[in-house]
Every structure is written in structure tokens, then in C-alpha cells.
Chains A and B, each alone.
Chain A
Amino acid sequence: MPERIGLAALNLSCQRGGRIVFRDLGFRLAPGQALLVAGPNGAGKTSLLRQVAGLLPLAAGEFRLEGAGPDAELPELCHYVGHLNAVKTSLSVAENLAFWAEFFGANSARVAPALAAFGLGPLADLPAGLLSAGQKRKLALSRLFTTQRPIWLLDEPQTSLDAASLILLDAAIKDHLAAGGIAIVASHVALKTKFAHRLTLGQERVS
């Protein structure tokens, strides 16, 4: 079970190269809720996700964690799946995942079930360099299952995925939410996940 925490963002602004990408943006996610971030290219979807993961500084505003321990750090509660898959081509599929499991402090026994989550079990011993784009994406998404972290940050998670894998992805997000987790998904494609909130960037409107 992931920790049940809530995440609130207050008056966020993002500045890149002197240009304001978005300003005064806010949302509040209770445990079990998901946020869909939409908007045209360049509206700042990736920037917002990277801000939550602590990779990009906030120009203004702040994040508040609700129900987390006093020494909880937001980035360490997040699973970030960005555009890049962080797959090492000279390691095998299982070794790739085993490293992240160990690095994130998980038991190595969790590697096999994590591989199975997206059906990569039969490919475990294959060098990751031989995987197709979609399979590499699945390997990156399998990282979500190595350790329990309450906040999932998914940036265009459906890229290169086939229809069957999209169903698995939807189910994975649903299970994560049902267990009290939070998901923030930037996506153009309609996922079947029920999003409690929707944030459309480029128009600065939250519903």
C-alpha cells in the first residue's frame, strides 16, 4: 500500500528562457485522485511534471504535501516517467529493472512481478538494446511497480504503446488510484482512467 498523501499546488509559475510558460496555476489532489494535464505543444505540460519531480525550479508558488511525514521530500515520493526511457542498452531487461529497484530501495524479489506487469517476463534476459520502442516504453513503465511511491508523474505514457498495453496502463493507473495513490498524467490521447481533475494549460483554466 502506498502512503495516503494529498498534494496541493498553489500559485505555480514557470519561467523558461525568460518567457513565462504558465502562471498562477493551482490544483489540489486528494489520495486516490488523478489529474490530467492537457494543452497544446509548448504549453508547459512537461515543465509542470518536472516541477513536481523537483527537476525544474519554481518561478513562484509552492507545493504542499498533506498527510505526509515531517521529513518527507516531494521528489522522493514521485515516480517520474518522462519522454526518455532511461533504458541502458548494454544491460539486460531484468538488469535494467533490478538496478532501479535496488536504487529506489526495493526488495529484489519485486523485479519479477514488475516485469510481468507489462508482460516483459519472457524478455528478461534479452539485452535492452534489442527492444522495440514500445517495449522500451513498457520497461520504463515497469519501474512504477518496483517500489511503492504515492505520486505517479506520467509524461505522455502512451507513446509507442499498442492497444493491449494501453489497457494494461489504464488498469495500472486505476489500481494505483484505488490504493490511495495520486497520478498526474500529461497526455493528448484519451485514457480510460477517470480523472478527478483536468488542467488545460495554455488557457489557464482549471475545472
Chain B
Amino acid sequence: MSAALALLKRDLTLSWREGGAVGTALGFYLVVVAITPLGLGPDLNLLARIAPGILWVALLLAALLSADRIFHNDYEDGALDLLVTGPLPLPLIAAIKSLAHWLVTGVPLALLAPVLGLLLNLPVQAIPLLVLSMLAGTPAVSFVAAIGASLTLGLRRSGLLLALLVLPLYVPVLIFGVATASAAITGPASPWPPLLMLCALSLASIVLAPLAAAAALRTALR
């Protein structure tokens, strides 16, 4: 247990000290959302209707920007070899590193979304559901990204391949995420069924994705 906490604490410290990954993700999120209205024109009704979709798509892309770092640094400097000889099973190591990615990327992105919603004329009554849907859906984003990160370990320009591998897997998260947030805007449908589906997707990813990532890591270490 203390080994797991030590690893989580180290990963959080490293991303805080190095800062680049989180800062880039947040900056990318801001830029994508800020330029979208410029491309669509000043139709406030249109913007309000599509705001949840734009915020969700931008969040997925921003989260993927830092995804290749989940294992890359530890692989490059040999720390992954040592983690494997430690007391934790490899799937647990993958899970902890995915959790750290969620804490430093998914959570800040979800909390930044309401502010960026202002740029898109997002109705105020949709904000709580939007943030809730993102907090419920982003664990799936980070844990599935870990599968892609472990599969592309050791490749050059792995970020692009990672996006190709992982983005299709985000389709259910995107659909249910947007459905949850839109329920408050477009009306009478209840937001709870899609929100519960999002929770289910996240829980399933938390359980299954580390197993897949661990299998890919084993191959990468050979």
C-alpha cells in the first residue's frame, strides 16, 4: 500500500515540477475552444446548442496531448524496469500511473470547462451537468489512454499513432458525455441515463484498461 502511495505521490510531484504536460493541455484546450466561435460566426443560439460537443471534443484532444507521457519518461530512464521488480503487480502500476494522469489532466480540464463555456455562450443551467459529466467520463479517458501509451512505447512520434489508436475508443464517452450536458439545454430528456452510462464506462475502464496496458508494457520491456 505504501508503495502504491509512494508511486502516486512521485508521479504527481513530477508533473507538478515539470509542469509542461499539464500547462500544454490546458493551453491547448483554451486555444481550441477560443478559436471555434471565430470559425462559426456570432450565432449565439447555434453556439449554445453545440457548446457541450465542442467542449467535450476539445477536452479529449487536450487529454491526449499528454497521454504519451504516462509511461514514456519511466521507460526512457529505466525506472520502469525497477518498478517491475518492486512489490506491486504490473496492472496496479499501470492503474496508479493512469490515476495520476487523470488527477493532473482530466480533473483540471473538467474544472476549466465552465470558464471556457462562457466563450461559447453555454447556458448557466448546463454548467453543473457539464462538469459532472466530465468528472464522470475523464477517468475512462485517462485509463484508456494508458493502453495506447503502453502500446506505442518506444516508438518515435508516438503521439500521433496514440491518437489514431485511442480516439475511436472515446466515441462512447463522447456520445454519453455530450448527451448528459445537452439534456439541460435542449430539454425534457433526463440527464441521468447517459450520466450513469458514463460512470459505467469509467468503472469498466478502471478495471480492464490496466490489464491491457500491463500486457503491452511486458512486451515493451523485452
Q: Which of A55, A91, A95, A99 contacts B81 (CB 8 A)?
A: A55
- Confirm or deny: A40 has a beta carbon within 8 angstroms of a beta carbon on chain B: no
Contact B3 A102 (CB under 8 A): yes
Contact A99 B10 (CB under 8 A): yes
Can you identify 13 A-B contacts, CB atoms within 8 angstroms?
A53-B84, A76-B86, A83-B78, A84-B76, A85-B78, A86-B78, A86-B79, A99-B6, A103-B3, A103-B6, A104-B87, A105-B2, A105-B3
Given the complex, which residues of B lie within 8 Å of A80, measured CB to CB? 81-82, 85
Our count of residue pairs bridging A and B at CB distance below 8 angstroms stands at 73
User: With contacts A53-B81, A55-B222 known, what are 5 further pairs, Cβ within 8 A?
Assistant: A55-B85, A86-B82, A88-B77, A102-B2, A103-B6
| Interface 1/0 per residue, A80-100 and B, CB below 8 Å | 101111111011000100011
Determine the distance from Cα of A182 to Cα of B7 in the docked complex, in whole angstroms: 28
CB distance from A187 to the nearest CB of B (A): 18
CB distance from B62 to the nearest CB of A (A): 23
Interface size range of chain A in the complex? 20 to 34
Determine the distance from Cα of A88 to Cα of B12 in the docked complex, in whole angstroms: 13
Q: Across the interface, name the chain B residue whose C-beta is closest to A140.
A: B78
* Interface positions of A (Cβ within 8 A of B): 50, 53-57, 75-76, 78-80, 82-88, 90-91, 95, 99-100, 102-105, 143
Contact A56 B222 (CB under 8 A): yes
Given the complex, which residues of A lie within 8 Å of B77, measured CB to CB? 84-88
- Confirm or deny: B157 has a beta carbon within 8 angstroms of a beta carbon on chain A: no
Given the complex, which residues of B lie within 8 Å of A103, measured CB to CB? 3, 6-7, 10, 83, 86-87
- Confirm or deny: B14 has a beta carbon within 8 angstroms of a beta carbon on chain A: yes
Contact B87 A90 (CB under 8 A): no
- Confirm or deny: B221 has a beta carbon within 8 angstroms of a beta carbon on chain A: yes
